[in-house]
Amino acid sequence: MPYCVGLQSAANAFLSAGFATQFTLSVVIFLVVVLVTSSLQTNEADAPTSLPCYSLFTILPFFRRRYDFLNWGFHATGQSVFQFQLLRNTVVAVSGESARQAFFNAKGLDLTEGFKILSGAIPMVRGVTSNLETRRIAIIHKRLAAVQRNAPLNDLIPLILDDSRRIMETWGPSGKFDPFDSIYALLFQTTLRSLSCSEISDDPAIVGRLKTLYDKLDHGTTPATVLVPWLPTPAMIKKLWATKEIYQIVCGAIRAREQSGISRNDTLQMLLDSGDEKLVVVGFIMGLLIAGARATGTTASWMMTFLGGHPEWRAKAAAEVESLLLAANPDTKLSSSSSSESLSSQLSTIPLEVWESETPVLDAIIKETTRVAQPHTAMRRNLGPPVYIDGKMIPTGAYVVYPFSDVHLDPSIYPDPWAFNPGRAEVKHTPFAYVGWGGGKTLCLGTRLAKLELKLIAAMFVLGFRQLSVIDKDGNPTSPQPNWNDILLCRPPPEKTGYLSYERSDVPL
């Protein structure tokens, strides 16, 4: 594995020291870096207005309460474009219709470079998931497109449904669960199934271990691990070892496949048959797994929450799926508890093209969920010449961020924006009024797979369960609101979390 020997030695020495020494050393080094680098500001006349506070105080709010912080920045400066410093990094935040169009259409604004510095939750292995050559990035994108061709997606449908059945059966005939635990875990499994291999996705112990390790990456992402990743903080060391273990699990699965000599119909086999070098194969699985599971898991968790709290839309979704089943299986009675066919096996007979083109209700539910409960801030880095947005110059090398809340929660575009209403009329008079899957030259490359996963799981959910409701920890009805300051799951704070109460329907899963 391409780990630096010196870094491992330093890490071992650091871990062997007491916690007090670790903490003190980390804080001292971090503060020195901040004080030396955070005062750099641009003073050009056409530069964006800077925030009215010392740049040291922008670091924690940007990472811990980003939604509130960016809203405050636009209010405090009175501008649609403002800038601030994250150590040596100049970050420009933009808002408004004209800025949004410029942001999504600008050729020099690069997504990969933007997330590399400002996100930090992707497992970073040099040459595998970071510091990739342009050629390797292009290959990974090409392979992701191959996974989403008609034949592979058709083959995935029964596998995703069977994974869903197996996990939903563990919930029991009735009870309650936290969707941000149970639904998220389900999407992690189906994403593993779709983007890795049977050696991993067929083993619940490995799946559980990988989820724990990726959770460590998420929760171990701090301002220090993002801005000064070379600083040996306890969080950085934990992320290093979690990344190393993920790498070893993926490499172990590849090795097992190669040694078995057995060809299987999954993504790993496609990557190996394509003759890709090992770095590309490992990078594909490690990087795309967390990117896909996190975003799709957030959407799924909120979609089930909304369906639990909106029986009218749950009924519409159920009716839509039942009509698809009737068309595919005219002689089968879904309501019969004595049916020899399970719900998952019946749903697997519906062709891919039907799931994609004949589900307007599910499409509307997914779109509304990503509008109101997907806490994205698009991040780019200007790799081209200076570009102007709303008359303000974005210099080469600067980072540019656009919060999706600027348009998705704008009451002038979406009346009562926090309300879940899939029946909203499509907004046609405003450019880029919906950017749930990206916009302009940068669209989510895994959209097709993500939408299929969401539709299949929703179908199992609305037909396999009844008496659904959303309750608080004391069992009282509640309507949790997405928390856009939680940049991973949009999850409400613990005291406002909603649980899904359910009973299994008569239809066997």
Taking a C-beta distance cutoff of 8 angstroms, is the pair 101, 408 a contact? Answer: no
- The whole-number pLDDT of residue 119 equals 63
Q: What CATH topology corresponds to 134-197+264-372+445-509?
A: Cytochrome p450 (1.10.630)
Give residue 341's pLDDT: 85
The residues facing 378 across adjacent strands are 402
Give the residue numbers of the binding site: 444
Residue 13 reports pLDDT greater than 70: no
pLDDT in tens, 84-134: 998 888 999 999 999 999 999 998 998 888 877 666 555 555 544 445 567
- 2-16, 154-168, 270-284, 478-492: segment of lowest average pLDDT: 2-16
The string of pLDDT tens digits covering residues 420-430 is: 999 999 998 89
Mean pLDDT of 380-409: 95
Is the pLDDT higher at 475 or at 6?
A: 475
> 332-374: per-residue pLDDT in tens?
666 545 456 899 999 999 999 999 999 999 999 999 999 999 9
**Mean pLDDT score of the chain:** 86
- Tens-place pLDDT, residues 450-463: 999 999 999 999 99
Residues 6+ apart with CB under 8 A from 381: 109, 110, 113, 114, 117, 397, 398, 399, 400
* Phi and psi based region of residue 246 (left: phi greater than 0; alpha: psi -120 to 50; beta: remaining): alpha
Contact 196, 253 (CB under 8 A): yes
Looking at per-residue pLDDT, the higher value among 147 and 495 belongs to: 147
Q: What is the DSSP code (8-state) at residue 40?
A: -
Give the per-residue pLDDT at 45: 66
The mean per-residue pLDDT over the stretch 478-497 comes to: 92
Dist CA 122 CA 119 (whole Å) = 8
Mean pLDDT on 241-266: 93
Residues of the binding site for heme: 444
Closest CA to 144 of 327, 287, 338: 287
Decide: 309 and 329 in contact? Cβ < 8 Å.
Answer: no
Q: Mean pLDDT across the stretch 151-157?
A: 96
- Residue 289 one-letter amino acid: L
**CATH classification of 38-124+377-435, choosing from 3.40.30.10, 3.90.550.10, 3.30.43.20, 2.40.50.100?**
3.30.43.20
Question: Residue 17: pLDDT band by 50, 70, 90 thresholds?
Answer: low
User: Domain extents for the chain?
Assistant: 38-124+377-435, 134-197+264-372+445-509
CA 79 distance to own-chain centroid: 30
